[in-house]
Amino acid sequence: MGAGGGPFRLGRHVDGVPVRRGAHGHGVPRGPRRPRAREPPGRRHPHALPRALRAALLGARHGRGDRVPGDDPRRARSLRDPARRRRARELDRFLEAEHAAWEPPRVLGSPTHALLEGLHGRGLKLGLVSNAFDPGWLLHQDLEQMGLADRLDFAVFSSEVGVRKPDPRIFRRALDALGVEPENALFVGDRLYEDVRGAGELGMTTVQALWFRADEHPAGVEPDHQAFTQLDVLNIARRFLA
């Protein structure tokens, strides 16, 4: 699941959840993509303005691109500046207050929890790989709030490790933590470039989660499987492990 500005995803882990080995080439055949009705921005993303403000603040502080603060030696040097450290603490307090002010608290629907239970019930290791600007400690609090922390064996955010998907190092971090090799892992994500390409180049079997997003068409990026629902993911995982 990925949280970098989008909904949490499961991966090879189910967003990034490594699972164990199974058969390739099965699952849901690729076909016409389902059209999706547009919702008013305010209804679909009630926190769009705070998120945009947060991204702007963090972008100004950390810079742009696939690298994040932990990967930038200039950033490390800048933290020795007391004024910069003070501003960083102030920004962290702002982010913590903004998270605490979310109403209602963010929760995941029962289909997602049922999917995680179904995968765990098959003896699979589950993990999360997510691009995110917010500090990792806040995002781990979010996992607790959403009831995900106890269902995941591992979670890693780009803001913690200094690289962002599709960089293979963030996927490798999850695989190493779970003790799973890429060829024995299934990664489920909604973004073709960040998720499917990134995990696929490392050798993971990829599943595009179309219930999150179905409007991306980057050239040369094709998932091994497509899932229109969480049940599709369970079926793909079952065949992967056969």
Long-range contacts from 202-209, C-beta under 8 angstroms, 24+ separation: 202/168, 202/171, 202/172, 202/175, 204/12, 204/18, 204/171, 205/12, 205/24, 205/240, 206/12, 207/27, 207/233, 207/236, 209/9, 209/10, 209/233
Q: Can you give the pLDDT at residue 80?
A: 58
Of all residues in the chain, the percent with pLDDT exceeding 70 is 57
Residue with tokens 């999150």: 212
Under the banding of pLDDT at 50, 70 and 90, the label for residue 68 is: very low
At 208 the three-state DSSP class reads strand
Question: Which of 81-85, 148-152, 196-200 is predicted least confidently?
Answer: 81-85
Set out the domains of the chain in order of their start, with CATH numbers: 1-242 (3.40.50.1000)
Q: Is pTM beyond 0.75 here?
A: no
Q: Which of 43-47, 121-125, 170-174 has the highest mean pLDDT?
A: 170-174
The mean predicted confidence, pLDDT, of the chain is 73
Which region among 107-111, 134-138, 188-192, 204-208 has the lowest average model confidence (pLDDT)? Answer: 107-111
Residue 184 has pLDDT above 90, yes or no: yes
pLDDT tier for residue 11 given thresholds of 50, 70 and 90: very low
Contact in structure between 10 and 233 (CB atoms under 8 Å): yes
pLDDT, one tens digit per residue, over 106-153 is 666 778 888 999 999 989 999 999 999 888 888 898 888 888 899 999
Lowest mean pLDDT of 55-69, 85-99, 162-176, 215-229, name the range: 55-69
| Residues 38 and 165 sit within 8 Å (Cβ to Cβ) | no
